[in-house]
Amino acid sequence: MDYAYALQQLINGVTLGMIYGLIAVGYTMVYGIIGMINFAHGDIFMVGAFLSMIALLGLAALGITWVPLALALTLLFAAAITALYGWTVERVAYRPLRGSFRLAPLISAIGMSITLQNYVQVSQGARVKPIEAVIPGGIQVMNQGGFTVELSWMQIAIVATTLAILAVFTWLVKRTPLGRTMRACEQDLKMASLLGIDTDRTISLTFVIGAALAAVAGLMFLLYYGVIDFYIGFIAGIKAFTAAVLGGIGSLPGAVLGGLLIGLIEVFWSAYFSVEYKDVAAFSILIIVLIFMPTGILGRAEVEKV
Amino acid sequence: MTPLRDAFLSAAVALGLFGPMVGLLTVSGEHGLSLELRPIATAVIVGLVFLGRLLVLSWRGRGRVETYKTNRALAEGIAHAGKFIAPVLLVAAVALPFTGSRYYVDLGTLVLTYIMLGWGLNIVVGLAGLLDLGYVAFYAVGAYSYALLSTTYDLGFWTCLPLAGLFAGCAGVMLGFPVLRLRGDYLAIVTLAFGEIIRIVLTNWVSLTNGPNGITGIPRPTLFGLRFSMEGGEGTFAGFFGIEPATIQRVIFLYYVILVLALLTNWVSLRLRRIPLGRAWEALREDEIACRSLGINVRNTKLTAFGMGAMFGGLAGAFFATRQAFISPESFTFIESATVLAIVVLGGMGSQLGVALAAIVMVGGLETLRDVLSFLGDQMNSPLFAGIAGQLPLYRMLIFGLVLVVMMVLRPRGLISGRTPTVALGARKEIAAELVAQGRG
């Protein structure tokens, strides 16, 4: 058994899983509160990746080249503008349809997804955009029979940042008044509004936070792969949704866990079976999980009241 | 908040949104990417948002019309007019080839293909209330069934057509079987995943499907054994009737084939609605638990809906393959599923006429938009528009997405939202859209 190879895949899988997990949190939060699949969320992630790229290039043009500062500024800028996108999408496409029948917001979300994709294609061009590695180098973990397991600084940065952001986010949901209203809305939207919670504002903020997390994922994706185009949001979006479902939709730790699992499955499948069918593996997992475990790993069973 | 202040705020948000994305263009150069400023475009967009917001606010300020009443009146109006619209549309469809214009016949064929897909999906989404986001998978199964059968075993179109429908129907039942326990949005996402799986398999199973290069040289259909070839002579359409061979004959023939197929779909679904199975579909859409407690076999009811819908998708797919004579996985992307679903939802879910109208508006509109945009692009010679003139056709899908959002916000229940009950005691009364559940799944 080639442990070195497997270890390398484990490292890659965890890195990828962190990115999926960050996007999945946005899906699971929105689904938890208003029970809709925010189909445009994958494209919000793509917008975040593009904004990160623009910010990195802009900072370089302004002469800010000290990497930690540049990355921190990029993160703030991308998160802020992407959050604005999330807010606008909710305000324009979803809020007028609240209380309407279920398919209407879904179609509206699909329309928004198509709009965002083509908007980025029109404004930034259809070509893939490559950037140079921002954090080069890494450390060699072990060497086995000529195969070197490498843990790049980039991967360490991605995992560390994701964990830090998730810690902040967990604190936000568990300890702050905003988090309390969000959890109240998730349990019962109507009751929460009866008790004086401004549900519209809470839902807006949910979209804002989800979009900001997606922007972080977008930056990570850009740094990790070094190349983006306007179409990355679609597949990443479905996989992140798969992750959310796998972890149990509505559950925040579940979203991260699901993201990790999907990342690992994808990377190991590519490494040991075939790269072409890696998406088929991820989607098959989705179907199998939904059939045998419809509530996911950490989800609660839904009780239907008549 | 005064309208002016509101408009300023909107403009500020627009500046935040479009400033970085439109105002800063990433250009690939010799030393990697660099940024290029586009202040004019950004200013124009922000200005447009400002003016647009002012306009919307002043229009809204005049007092909103009671939407419920207008909806009701419109629904009844359309229902009355529907008695006339449907025959007029049918006559127009039959008469269309007599215009002799290749462009209109081609456009008509495209619209009819989507009408057929819409009617097929309508069985699943509109009648049975099962949300299917992967309908294109069955379209692909039908198209590839015909393409492979005809190119490998040399079978004709009319032999393969029922087979393609059968295969697609089986695919529908096969997908349906495991996922039927799922509800609503979960079902939507699983069908979406299934559609993607089919596309990925078609792309990568090169030995069978020739991968991304697709299948070429798919034979055209024949009319009672008469081929539509350009040589004329024995066994061809032109030779048999003693006329000059021309491409338009084949084009018109294909048009009538899809017209007949679409009408068949319509007829079958209208008939199915009257038998117990169809009524069970509609009951299932309204309330699954009530259905189950009344002893309806929910599983079989859902499976037949899936199978029937998939079968019509497969038939349309076989037609698509024979019309294009070339298919590749690129034709079966998610956007197709989204378009067909949007047609069904905009049509009013369950209304046959609504689906036809929505398909005409959407597909016809998209094609017209393509022409208008390329025409505009050609007209913009001045250097002021240098940046966008050539790009203009790309705006088509952007506008499509926006129209989808706007239509949903304005008329979430679709064009024809009222319902006439399929079975009624005494007089048939229109049921307002607000009173029926739709697509709860």
Digit-coded pLDDT (tens) for B156-214: 888 889 999 999 999 999 888 877 777 767 788 888 888 988 999 999 888 888 888 88
Euclidean distance between CA atoms A52 and B34, whole angstroms:
14
Question: Which of A118-132, B356-370, B382-396 is the least confident region?
Answer: B382-396
Which member of A36, A47, A57 has the closest CB to residue B26? A57
Mean pLDDT of chain A: 87
On average, the pLDDT of chain B sits at: 82
Strands (E), A261-305: none
**Per-residue pLDDT, A210:** 93
Please answer whether residues B82 and B88 qualify as being in contact, where contact means their C-beta atoms are separated by less than 8 angstroms: no
Predicted TM-score (pTM) of the model is 0.88
Q: Is the pLDDT of residue B16 over 90?
A: no
Which residues of A fall within a CB distance of 8 Å from B189? 37, 238, 241-242, 245, 286
State residue B441's pLDDT score: 30
Distance of alpha carbon B274 from alpha carbon B422, whole angstroms: 7
Instruction: Quote the pLDDT of residue B431.
Output: 62
Per-residue pLDDT reduced to its tens digit, A221-245? 999 888 898 889 988 998 898 888 8
**pLDDT (tens digit per residue) in B48-71:** 988 888 888 887 765 555 555 666
Does the beta carbon of B161 lie under 8 angstroms from any beta carbon of chain A?
A: no
Mean pLDDT (whole number) for B275-298 = 87
| Residue A40 or B240, more confident | A40
Task: Kindly give the residue spans of alpha helices, DSSP state H, lying in B24-66.
Answer: 39-61
Q: Which residues in chain A are contacts of B193 at CB distance < 8 A?
A: 238, 242, 283, 286-287
pLDDT tens digits, one per residue of B111-128:
999 999 999 999 998 888
pLDDT bucket at B434, cuts 50 / 70 / 90: low
- Note the pLDDT of residue B440: 36
From the list B16, B35, B402, the residue facing A58 with the nearest CB is: B35
Q: How far is the C-alpha of B220 from the C-alpha of B319, rounded, in Å?
A: 9
Q: With a CB-CB cutoff of 8 Å, which residues 118-147 of chain B face chain A?
A: 125, 131
**Residue B439 — very low, low, confident or very high, per pLDDT cuts 50/70/90?**
very low
User: Closest chain B residue to A242 measured between Cα atoms?
Assistant: B189
Q: For residue A24, how many other CB atoms are within 10 A of its CB?
A: 35
Beta strands in B226-353 (DSSP E): 326-327
DSSP character string of B169-210 = HHHHHHHHHHHTT--HHHHHHHHHHHHHHHHHHHHH-HHHH-
Chain-chain contact of B26 with A124 (C-beta, under 8 angstroms): yes
A265 contacts A285 by C-beta, under 8 angstroms: yes
Do B405 and A127 make contact, defined as CB atoms within 8 angstroms?
no
Instruction: State the complex-level ipTM.
Output: 0.86
Residue among B26, B33, B200 whose CB faces A277 most closely: B200
CB atoms within 10 A of CB A302: 10
Q: In CATH, what class is A3-292?
A: mainly alpha
Q: Please tell me the distance from the alpha carbon of residue B91 to that of residue A126, in angstroms, as a whole number.
A: 43
pLDDT at B372: 83
State whether residue A128 is helix, strand or coil.
Answer: coil
CA–CA dist B224, B229 (Å, integer): 14
**Residue B336 neighbours by CB distance under 10 Å:** 18
Q: Summarize the confidence of residues A156-178 as an average pLDDT.
A: 89
| B-chain residues near A262 (CB < 8 A) | none
Concatenated DSSP letters of B153-167:
H---HHHHHHHHHHH
Residues paired with residue B215 on neighbouring β-strands, in sequence order: B327
Interface contact A238-B193, CB threshold 8 A:
yes
Mean pLDDT, range B30-56, rounded to an integer: 83
Give the DSSP H or E segment for B73: helix B67-95
Domain parsing of chain A, residue ranges: 3-292
Residue B292: its chain A contacts at CB < 8 A? Answer: none
| Three-class secondary structure of residue B413 per DSSP | coil
